[in-house]
Amino acid sequence: MSDSHWWRGAVIYQIYPRSFLDTDGDGVGDLPGIVERLDYVASLGVDAIWIAPFFKSPMADFGYDIADYRDVDPLFGTLQDFDHLLAKAHGLGLKVMIDQVLSHTSMEHAWFQESRQSRDNPRADWYVWADARPDGTPPNNWLSLFGGCAWQWEPRRGQYYLHNFLTSQPDLNFHHPEVRLAALDNIRFWLDKGVDGVRLDAINFCFHDRQLRDNPAKPREMRVGRGFSPDNPYAFQYHHYNNTQPENLAFLGELRALMDRYPDIAALGEISSEDSLATMAEYTRDGRLHMGYSFELLTDEFSVEHIRGTVTRLESQMTEGWPCWAISNHDVERVLTRWGNGDASAQRANLLTAMVCSLRGSVCVYQGEELGLTEADVPYESLRDPYGIAFWPQFKGRDGCRTPMPWSDQDAQAGFSDGMPWLPVPEEHRVRAVKQQELDPQSVLNGFRTFMHWRKSQSALRWGDVEFLDTAEPVLAFTRRLGDEALLVVFNLAAADIDIVLPQALGTATAVEGHGLPQARLLEGRLQLPGYGVWFARLG
């Protein structure tokens, strides 16, 4: 593998615009705020930015309910602001990816407003409509991920419409050829503007089972899933029919054909299915998506066995595609809380970043990860996420990872806004503000920068094959090989020091410096790993 495509081995920095930087004092971040902080982002050593939705929307799901795919919501700015953002990012050497939410729209979208009026208008079949059962109940047992029935009655048509997410997010009918063409045309609009890629939200939800068959029940012991409340009924089913349908494969081919008309564009699919790793492999082969990522490393499970097993299973299936990994994003508890086991130290934060950025594939890092931010405890009265409000108190939703970026420990609202932020700024985040960490050579921020810039010089780490060593907890070890270059990578995932014996078959190993993490020592065949220590070594 080589660096012939920018996205292979890239580190993609996710920006959640509502919470990045507010420049107009309304308490919500905006596109000019992103522009103002692009120099900071470029200084991190990342390759690209992915911007969460900034399109016109009623904001029921904070931008993932789109009312106009081709316009910027006034909350975030204007199309001219986006053009300015794109130009500045490219001037700094940063690629720009944007979210595209294809499977559903807002109920305020003009398409749905027309579709809901009657059964015979020009867009009558653009959404998933179905008649009630003879007793008036919904057409099948499908459930919404946000809780409860996935069908909502529409009196204008005397039918139900499907919503896999919020009631206000009706699902488009991708079996209709005009819907597919319209979705592709919306993506073409942004490609013509010059974006470098798209992150495809819930891409396996585009198609539904035409026969509307019931999903089978799932045994109690199998009711697990990423981000689910313990009592979310969504986990009670195998979701065989409301998503991940075979027809989606042909559509992905159509999407790829469009993207191949533009130079070096990347399509990254978010995938959450009954077997997400298998779906990732399927969606990235035979000329479909460039990359896929799932939630396997976004769960609560943190162990050598889980990380090694997840990557190994994907590697055994993904023969053509390119993986993308993430350990934090805007939908899950922040990694330093989820995987920290009470330890939010700089050493642990930097170890987790180095670990995920050493796996084969590209990486998405979430804003604030470079600061070692922990999950915020947002009180019920301040919650904004409808998911958290619905499932309180067992599940507090996604607000805790979406609180504003702390830029200054001294300024009001930590330098995020001159107004009242849409979510409160946690006091514990002030001490991790950018301005304060800039001054500390041992900070998470400076450790993040050191590692990212060093990683750019390690071709085997960015593009090489991966093979795991059979090591016991808490040591994760693997090799990365590219041509004649071979790199041994060893991580101590625990705080206590540990010694291990390296397999003699590896041959000679010479330590590689410059990554900025606590370095192990090799003495008489034994590798002495400090707590949260690493060893990068050239094999010869």
- pLDDT computed for residue 540 by the predictor: 87
Claim to verify: residue 432 and residue 473 sit in the same structural domain: no
Tell me what percent of the residues of the chain surpass a pLDDT of 90.
93
Distances (CA, A) of 103 to 169, 183, 205: 9, 9, 6
Q: What is the mean pLDDT of residues 57-63?
A: 98
Q: What is the largest CA-CA distance in the chain?
A: 80
| CATH code: domain of residue 328 | 3.20.20.80
Residues 390 and 398: their CA atoms lie apart, in Å, by 12
128 domain-assigned:
no
Claim to verify: residue 497 and residue 516 sit in the same structural domain: yes
Indicate the residue among 431, 455, 479 that finishes a domain: 455
Claim to verify: residue 441 and residue 488 sit in the same structural domain: no
Claim to verify: residue 409 and residue 525 sit in the same structural domain: no
95 domain-assigned:
yes
Angle, helices 247-259 vs 177-193, to 10°: value is 30
Residues 232 and 394: their CA atoms lie apart, in Å, by 10
Claim to verify: residue 377 and residue 314 sit in the same structural domain: yes
- pLDDT computed for residue 3 by the predictor: 55
Indicate the residue among 404, 430, 455 that finishes a domain: 455
Q: What is the mean pLDDT of residues 391-405?
A: 94
287 domain-assigned:
yes
Q: Which has the closest alpha carbon to 276: 232, 324, 229, 207?
A: 324
Residues carrying an active site annotation: 201, 270
| CATH code: domain of residue 529 | 2.60.40.1180
pLDDT at 394 over 60: yes
Claim to verify: residue 299 and residue 342 sit in the same structural domain: yes
Radius of gyration of the chain (CA): 23
**492, 521 contact by CB (below 8 A):** no
Residues 462 and 360: their CA atoms lie apart, in Å, by 7
165 domain-assigned:
no
503 domain-assigned:
yes
Q: Judging by DSSP bridges, how do beta strands 475-482 and 465-468 pair with one another?
A: antiparallel
- pLDDT computed for residue 524 by the predictor: 84
- pLDDT computed for residue 107 by the predictor: 98
Claim to verify: residue 476 and residue 410 sit in the same structural domain: no
Instruction: Write out pLDDT tens, residues 103-131.
Output: 999 999 999 999 999 999 999 999 999 99
Which pLDDT band, with edges at 50, 70 and 90, does 360 fall under? very high
Residues 341 and 361: their CA atoms lie apart, in Å, by 27
pLDDT at 44 over 80: yes
With a CB cutoff of 8 Å and minimum separation 6, the contacts of 144 are 150, 163, 164, 165, 166, 167, 234
Instruction: Write out pLDDT tens, residues 67-92.
Output: 999 999 999 999 999 999 999 999 99
Claim to verify: residue 360 and residue 242 sit in the same structural domain: yes
pLDDT at 539 over 70: yes
Edge-to-edge strand list for the sheet holding 159-162? 129-130, 159-162, 151-154
Instruction: Write out pLDDT tens, residues 253-279.
Output: 999 999 999 999 999 999 999 999 999
Tell me what percent of the residues of the chain surpass a pLDDT of 70.
98
Q: How far from the centroid of its chain's Cα atoms is residue 444's Cα?
A: 21
pLDDT at 149 over 90: yes
pLDDT at 212 over 80: yes
- pLDDT computed for residue 330 by the predictor: 97
Residues 159 and 152: their CA atoms lie apart, in Å, by 8
Residue numbers of the domain that contains 493: 465-539
Indicate the residue among 391, 421, 455 that finishes a domain: 455
Which pLDDT band, with edges at 50, 70 and 90, does 175 fall under? very high
**363, 12 contact by CB (below 8 A):** yes
360 domain-assigned:
yes
Instruction: Write out pLDDT tens, residues 480-489.
Output: 999 999 999 9
- From first CA to last CA, the distance across the chain in angstroms is 20
Instruction: Write out pLDDT tens, residues 293-306.
Output: 999 999 999 999 99
Which pLDDT band, with edges at 50, 70 and 90, does 226 fall under? low
- pLDDT computed for residue 225 by the predictor: 60
Assigned token pair, 189? 């609009």
pLDDT at 227 over 70: no
Residues 361 and 466: their CA atoms lie apart, in Å, by 10
Claim to verify: residue 61 and residue 206 sit in the same structural domain: yes
pLDDT at 458 over 90: yes
Which pLDDT band, with edges at 50, 70 and 90, does 161 fall under? very high
* HEC per residue, 59-77: CCCCCCCCCEEEEECCCCC
- pLDDT computed for residue 1 by the predictor: 43
Which pLDDT band, with edges at 50, 70 and 90, does 231 fall under? confident
Claim to verify: residue 510 and residue 385 sit in the same structural domain: no
**How many domains, in total, are found in the chain?**
2
- pLDDT computed for residue 224 by the predictor: 72
Which pLDDT band, with edges at 50, 70 and 90, does 232 fall under? confident
State the pTM of this model. 0.97
Claim to verify: residue 444 and residue 516 sit in the same structural domain: no
Torsion-angle region of 286 (φ positive above 0: left; ψ -120 to 50: alpha; else: beta): left
Claim to verify: residue 476 and residue 366 sit in the same structural domain: no
Assigned token pair, 8? 């292979």
512 domain-assigned:
yes
Which pLDDT band, with edges at 50, 70 and 90, does 141 fall under? very high
290 domain-assigned:
yes
Which pLDDT band, with edges at 50, 70 and 90, does 230 fall under? low
